[in-house]
C-alpha cells in the first residue's frame, strides 16, 4: 500500500485551521496524486519516525532542520544565505520567489518534501507533481454534500452527491474566482449569519482583488435596513431569515457590473423555532440585470459547521447562476 505521511508542527496545525484548509482537502489532493492511504502526524509526537512512504512535512522553516537531521541528512547554506539540504533539490515557489526543499530517504528512495503551511493550498500544482511524477492524477470528485466517502469540510465531500462541483479537487472559491474572471463580473456579498466569511473565503484566492468588489456584514436588522434598504415591514412580517429578506439584501447590495450574494440564517445553538429551526438558512443571488434567485437550505451540525456549510452552499449557488457547474 502506497502511504503518504503528512507531518505537521504545532504552528502549522494552527495556521491551517486559521486559513480554513481542512485535512480533508489535503488528503483528497494526495489521494488524487496517487496515494492509497494518507496518515497525519504531529511533528512532536515522533509517530512519523521510520514511516515508510511519501512524506510531506508542513512546518515553519525553523522546524525543518529537525526533520532533515532525523533522516540522516545534513543542512547547508545557499548563496543568498538561505538554509538548504545537502544533496537535496529545490522546488521553485512564487509570490514571493523562493524554494521548498525535497530529497529522498532510505534505500526505498521515499520522497520527502518540506513545505511552509501558507503554500499548501495555492501552490499545490507546483508540489503535487513531486509525488505523482509522470502519473495522471486521479479524479477527485467534489460534491455539495456531507454524506460521501470522505468529508472535505462541512458541506462538501469526495463522495456521491446531488451537485458535482468538479472532479479536479478545486476549492469552490477557486472555481468562483475563475468564473468571475471569465464573465467579467465582480462579487459583492451581503452577509448576516456568516459575518463576512464568504468574502473572506474568496479573498484567500490569488487574483481575488480583480473580482471581489467588497462585502457588507449586516448582522443586526437595523444594519439590513440602513445599509441594504431592507424594509422594516419585511423584517417585522417575514423575519430576517426569509426569502423576502435575503432577496432584498441581495438587490440592495447590487452594483453595476456585479453579482451579489446574500445569506441569513439561524446558526444556533439558540434562536430557532418550530417554523425556523437551527440550521435554517436562506440565500439569494442577484445578477447585474436585476434577476434574482433564492434558496432555502436546511443544514445540520453545530454553529461553526452550519456557518461553514452556508459558505460553501452560497459559493455553489453563485457558480450555478454563473454557469460554472450543473446539477447531476
Per domain, the residue ranges of the chain are 3-132, 170-321
Q: Measured between alpha carbons, how far is 309 from 194 in angstroms, rounded to an integer? A: 10
The fold of the 170-321 domain, in CATH, is Maf protein (3.90.950)
At 327, the pLDDT band (50, 70, 90 cuts) reads: low
At 147, the pLDDT band (50, 70, 90 cuts) reads: low
Q: Measured between alpha carbons, how far is 325 from 328 in angstroms, rounded to an integer? A: 9
Look at residue 179 and tell me whether its pLDDT is greater than 90: yes
Strand, coil or helix: 228: helix
Q: Measured between alpha carbons, how far is 199 from 318 in angstroms, rounded to an integer? A: 13
User: Which grid cell is 231?
Assistant: 424594509
Q: Which residues of 231-256 are buried (b: 16+ CB within 10 A; e: fewer)?
A: eeebbeebbbbbbbbbbbbbbbbbee
Q: pLDDT (tens digit, 9 = 90+) per residue, 35-77? A: 999 999 999 998 999 999 999 999 988 899 989 999 999 999 8
Q: pLDDT (tens digit, 9 = 90+) per residue, 79-137? A: 777 788 999 999 988 878 888 999 999 778 899 999 988 889 999 999 999 999 888 99
Number of C-beta neighbours around residue 316 at 10 A: 25
What is the model's pLDDT at position 148?
62
Q: Are 53 and 30 in contact (CB under 8 A)?
A: no
Rg for the chain, CA atoms, rounded = 22
Number of C-beta neighbours around residue 209 at 10 A: 8
Is the pTM higher than 0.85? The answer reads: yes
CB-based contacts of 307: which residues, under 8 Å, 6+ apart?
193, 194, 195, 197, 267
Task: Name the percent of the chain lying above pLDDT 90.
Answer: 77
Q: What is the DSSP letter of 301?
A: S
Q: Measured between alpha carbons, how far is 264 from 194 in angstroms, rounded to an integer? A: 8
Q: Measured between alpha carbons, how far is 197 from 283 in angstroms, rounded to an integer? A: 14
Q: Are 126 and 110 in contact (CB under 8 A)?
A: no
Q: Measured between alpha carbons, how far is 73 from 287 in angstroms, rounded to an integer? A: 57
What's phi and psi for 271, nearest 5 deg?
A: 90, -5
At the fourth CATH level, the homologous superfamily of domain 3-132 is MoaB/Mog-like domain (3.40.980.10)
User: Which grid cell is 262?
Assistant: 446574500
Look at residue 173 and tell me whether its pLDDT is greater than 80: yes
Pairing state of beta strands 54-58 and 110-115?
A: parallel
Q: What is the DSSP letter of 137?
A: P
Q: Which of 165, 149, 168, 169 is nearest to 157 (CA)?
A: 149
What is the model's pLDDT at position 1?
66
In which element (H, E) is residue 51 found? none
Q: Are 216 and 228 in contact (CB under 8 A)?
A: yes
Q: Which strands, in side-by-side order, build the sheet including 110-115? A: 37-42, 3-8, 54-58, 110-115, 98-105, 89-93
Amino acid at each position: 500500500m502506497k502511504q503518504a505521511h503528512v507531518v505537521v508542527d504545532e504552528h502549522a496545525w494552527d495556521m491551517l485551521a486559521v486559513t480554513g484548509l481542512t485535512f480533508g482537502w489535503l488528503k483528497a489532493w494526495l489521494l488524487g496524486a496517487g496515494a492509497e492511504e494518507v496518515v497525519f502526524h504531529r511533528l512532536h509526537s515522533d509517530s512519523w519516525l521510520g514511516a515508510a512512504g511519501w512524506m510531506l512535512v508542513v512546518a515553519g522553516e525553523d522546524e525543518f532542520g529537525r526533520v532533515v537531521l532525523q533522516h540522516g541528512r545534513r543542512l547547508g547554506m545557499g548563496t543568498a544565505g538561505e538554509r538548504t539540504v545537502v544533496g537535496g533539490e529545490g522546488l521553485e515557489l512564487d509570490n514571493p520567489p523562493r524554494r521548498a526543499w525535497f530529497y529522498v530517504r532510505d534505500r526505498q528512495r521515499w520522497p520527502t518534501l518540506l513545505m511552509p503551511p501558507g503554500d499548501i493550498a495555492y501552490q499545490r500544482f507546483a508540489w503535487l507533481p513531486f509525488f505523482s511524477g509522470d502519473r495522471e492524477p486521479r479524479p477527485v470528485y467534489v460534491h455539495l454534500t456531507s454524506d460521501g466517502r470522505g468529508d472535505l469540510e462541512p458541506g462538501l465531500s469526495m463522495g456521491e452527491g446531488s451537485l458535482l462541483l468538479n472532479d479536479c479537487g478545486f476549492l469552490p472559491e477557486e472555481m468562483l474566482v475563475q468564473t468571475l474572471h471569465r464573465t467579467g463580473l465582480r462579487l459583492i456579498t451581503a452577509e448576516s449569519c456568516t459575518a463576512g466569511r464568504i468574502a473572506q473565503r474568496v479573498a484567500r484566492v490569488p487574483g481575488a482583488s480583480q473580482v471581489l468588489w467588497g462585502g457588507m456584514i449586516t448582522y443586526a436588522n437595523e444594519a439590513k435596513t440602513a445599509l441594504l434598504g431592507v424594509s422594516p415591514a419585511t423584517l417585522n412580517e417575514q423575519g430576517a431569515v426569509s426569502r423576502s429578506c435575503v432577496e432584498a439584501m441581495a438587490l440592495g447590495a447590487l452594483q453595476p457590473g456585479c453579482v451579489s450574494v446574500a445569506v441569513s440564517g439561524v446558526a444556533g445553538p439558540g434562536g430557532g423555532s418550530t417554523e425556523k429551526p437551527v440550521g435554517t438558512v436562506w440565500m439569494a443571488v442577484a445578477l447585474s440585470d436585476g434577476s434574482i434567485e433564492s434558496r432555502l437550505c436546511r443544514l445540520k451540525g453545530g454553529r461553526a459547521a452550519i456557518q461553514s456549510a452556508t459558505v460553501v452552499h452560497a459559493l455553489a449557488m453563485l457558480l450555478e447562476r454563473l454557469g460554472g457547474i450543473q446539477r447531476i
